[in-house]
Amino acid sequence: MSEAIDWARVRADFPLLTREVHGRPLIYLDSANTGQKPAAVIEAVDDFYRRHNANVSRAVHALGSEATEAYEGARRKLAAFLNVHANDLVLCSGTTFALNLVAYSWALPRLKAGDAILLTRMEHHANIVPWQIVAQRTGAVIRVAEIDERGELDLERLFAQMTPDVKLLAFTHVSNVLGTVNPAREICREARRRGIVTVVDGSQAAPHRALDVAGLGCDFYAITGHKMAGPTGTGALWARREHLEAMPPFLGGGEMIREVRFEGTVYNDPPHRFEAGTPNIAGFVGLGAAVDYLSGIGMAAIEAREKELLAHATAALSQVEGLRILGDAREKAAVISFLVEGAHAHDLATLLDLEGVAVRSGHHCAHPLMQHYGVPATCRASFAFYNTVEEIDRFVEALQKVRRLLA
Ligand code: PMP
């Protein structure tokens, strides 16, 4: 339970959170954009470069073995964290790469004119643009599942849209703008019954809740390391083994081959088939440490803590005159997008920054969702377990002040 954890001590694990911005204590409310890193992660990366640095898989010397073991160890840790087999986990630079890998290696060779790709209104551009590229090249069409007033997917309509021409459904597990947690298991079950392959964007889910990716029933699941306490440039794609076995490589180069002749090349087995070139070894060492760190606290405790912060922030923000929150899904992650009457989101975020409060303003890489709400931008406060109730109160006070300035 979250009561059993000393959250002030947990917060002290994050060196950056002690700094000041514009002469004020930093209040970092942009964890949906990228998460802060605990000392354990920073030290793991530092230690790798100081003591173990070498390339993976090519060298038989001691450092080479240590680096390979550290890299493969990170894969095993991440696999255990997601409840999948390590051999079915492709390590890559993040969700954007992972989704493009599915688009280029799975979808592009298979889709054709007459096929449809189903997306949802709340997708990040990373889960829209790769499918548009596939559609343009294959003649497939894109269809969109819409959301209701709460910012939840309209499931009845979504299931009705799962027609026989739909070959692929790509959707986010948790919305980075609305915080909506989509019922991924139910959606994947319905899709699977109809033979539709599912691609789940787990970027915003993995940092906040315990995941059983194997139990979700999806075909592909993408995550990104930098939102889950790990370094930037790390992430992974999990895929069903049968897909990985059948997929041609996305990038060619070293590491992804078994034998190269000018007459032709024999590719390595998955997951290495999809990991051409020198990977972000130190980054994955850091991600392994991040997974250890999050598991040490416990994802259930993290989820409970963030629920408390979300409830507190939602109640506090609803006292602000002229403030409107976008999205009140019944299952919601600790993300609050809001608009304040008469104030532009960028002006709000700029003035909040002067108060030491970091919130994001903009379209959050979700133009179609902004179009749905008829706004160019929102402000977004996103919380992590290292935030505090006091920070939220100071944020809301700062917002009241800023709102008066802009009125
Ligand atoms: N999908 C969602 C829902 C996201 O929030 C993000 C990051 N903002 C991405 C995809 C892109 O992930 P990455 O940073 O790994 O490219």
CA distances from residue 268 to 66, 140, 251 in whole angstroms, order as listed: 22, 31, 12
pLDDT of 51 > 90? The answer is yes
Please name the residues in contact with 256: beta carbons below 8 A apart, sequence gap of 6 or more: 249, 267, 268, 272, 273, 274, 275, 276
- If pLDDT is split at 50, 70 and 90, which confidence band does 170 have? very high
Please name the residues in contact with 44: beta carbons below 8 A apart, sequence gap of 6 or more: 285, 286, 288, 289
pLDDT of 17 > 80? The answer is yes
Quote the ligand 1 centre to 380 CA distance (angstroms): 15
The gap between the terminal CA atoms of the chain, to the nearest Å, is 43
Quote the ligand 1 centre to 31 CA distance (angstroms): 12
Whether the Cβ atoms of residue 138 and residue 112 lie closer than 8 Å to each other: yes
Residue nearest to atom 4 of ligand 1 (CA): 203
Q: Is the CA virtual torsion 341, 347, 349, 352 positive or negative?
A: negative
For the chain, the structural domain boundaries read: 2-30+299-406, 43-295
pLDDT of 1 > 60? The answer is no
Choose among 186, 118, 177: nearest CA to 146.
118
- The minimum-distance atom of ligand 1 relative to the CA of 33 is 8
Site to substitute for ligand 1 among 33, 177, 224, 369, most atoms within 8 A of C-beta = 224
Quote the ligand 1 centre to 312 CA distance (angstroms): 26
pLDDT of 259 > 50? The answer is yes
Mapping DSSP to helix (H, G, I), strand (E, B) and coil, where does residue 192 land?
helix
Residue nearest to atom 5 of ligand 1 (CA): 176
- Cα separation of 46 and 188, whole Å? 40
- The minimum-distance atom of ligand 1 relative to the CA of 235 is 15
pLDDT at 131: 98
Average pLDDT of the segment spanning 380-389: 98
Quote the mean pLDDT of the chain: 96
Q: Name residues contacting ligand 1 (CB within 6 A).
A: 94-96, 124, 126-127, 172, 176, 201, 203-204, 224, 235, 365
Give the model confidence (pLDDT) of 336-360 as tens digits. 999 999 999 999 999 999 999 999 9
- Cα separation of 247 and 102, whole Å? 9
pLDDT at 3: 56
The hierarchical CATH code for the domain 43-295 is 3.40.640.10
pLDDT at 91: 98
- If pLDDT is split at 50, 70 and 90, which confidence band does 60 have? confident
Give the model confidence (pLDDT) of 186-237 as tens digits. 999 999 999 999 999 999 999 999 999 999 999 999 999 999 999 999 999 9
- The minimum-distance atom of ligand 1 relative to the CA of 224 is 15
Average pLDDT of the segment spanning 34-38: 98
Q: Which CATH class is domain 2-30+299-406?
A: alpha beta
pLDDT at 58: 73
- Cα separation of 48 and 51, whole Å? 5
Quote the ligand 1 centre to 96 CA distance (angstroms): 6
Site to substitute for ligand 1 among 34, 93, 96, 335, most atoms within 8 A of C-beta = 96
In 10 A of CB 356, how many CB atoms? 20
- If pLDDT is split at 50, 70 and 90, which confidence band does 406 have? confident
With a pLDDT cut of 70, the percent of the chain lying above it is 99
- The minimum-distance atom of ligand 1 relative to the CA of 201 is 1
Site to substitute for ligand 1 among 30, 122, 203, most atoms within 8 A of C-beta = 203
- If pLDDT is split at 50, 70 and 90, which confidence band does 2 have? very low
- The minimum-distance atom of ligand 1 relative to the CA of 225 is 15
Give the model confidence (pLDDT) of 98-145 as tens digits. 999 999 999 999 999 999 999 999 999 999 999 999 999 999 999 999
Q: Which residues are the active-site residues? A: 365
pLDDT at 407: 78
Quote the ligand 1 centre to 203 CA distance (angstroms): 6
Quote the ligand 1 centre to 231 CA distance (angstroms): 14
Rg of the chain's alpha carbons, rounded to an integer? 22
pLDDT of 20 > 80? The answer is yes
